[in-house]
Amino acid sequence: MKYIKYLIAILMVSSFVASCEKDTELKVEYLEVNANNISGQWELSEWNGAGLMDGTYVYLDIVRNDRTYTMYQNLDSFLNVPHTVTGSYFLETDPELGAIIRGNYDHDSGDWAHRYIIKDLTATEMTWIAKDDESFVQKFVRIDNIPVE
């Protein structure tokens, strides 16, 4: 009888510990990729697995209502001089790949160089992977404001 009580006590303690461990796990809530969920201000935090060089930046301001964007970046200019690019974006869904974003520029440069599969969209982060080159990966984090506007 002692052994049965001992076994029951062990089972109760182990189930309590297991339930506590499950409660402490962080659950990531992924969002549906749509114009509403990607709208806002974003900063490029990683490019192909590495952070940007000190002093360089890329910020995106994605507008839901008219599906436009403004990009502020200094990757191809002097470090203290932002280059501003505007344009439109389009979302589509591929049954196998998921949500894909593509866009164009307001000036004469035409379409973006890549179409991007949007993965792992959360309230604070998203990843863009070039559809034609899966090694081309950009990670963005949501920010409260763009410091170079």
Q: What is the pLDDT of residue 75?
A: 83
Residue 135 lies in a domain: yes
Report how far apart, in Å, the C-alpha atoms of 113 and of each of 74, 110, 129 are: 18, 9, 12
Mean pLDDT of 111-130: 97
Cα pseudo-dihedral 11, 17, 18, 24, rounded to 10: 170
Residue 24 lies in a domain: no
- Name the residue among 119, 128, 117, 122 with its Cα closest to residue 28: 122
Work out how many domains the chain is built from and give that number: 1
pLDDT over 90 (residue 9): no
List phi, psi (to 5°) of 35: -60, -35
Residue 30 lies in a domain: no
Collect contacts of 47-54 with beta carbons under 8 A, ≥24 apart: 47/137, 47/138, 47/139, 48/135, 48/136, 48/137, 48/138, 49/137
Report how far apart, in Å, the C-alpha atoms of 1 and of each of 66, 125, 147 are: 73, 56, 71
Residue 65 lies in a domain: yes
CATH number at residue 127: 2.40.128.280
Beta-carbon neighbour count of residue 129 at 10 Å?
19
Tell me what percent of the residues of the chain surpass a pLDDT of 70: 79
Mean pLDDT of 116-133: 97
Residue 13 lies in a domain: no
Residue 56: CB partners within 8 Å, gap ≥ 6? Answer: 73, 74, 75, 79
- Give the structural domain span for 121: 35-142
Average pLDDT value for the chain: 86
Tell me what percent of the residues of the chain surpass a pLDDT of 90: 66
Q: Which amino acid is at 58?
A: V
Residue 10 lies in a domain: no
CA distance 70 to 23: 41
Residue 26 lies in a domain: no
Residue 23 lies in a domain: no
- Of residues 49 and 23, more confidence is placed in 49
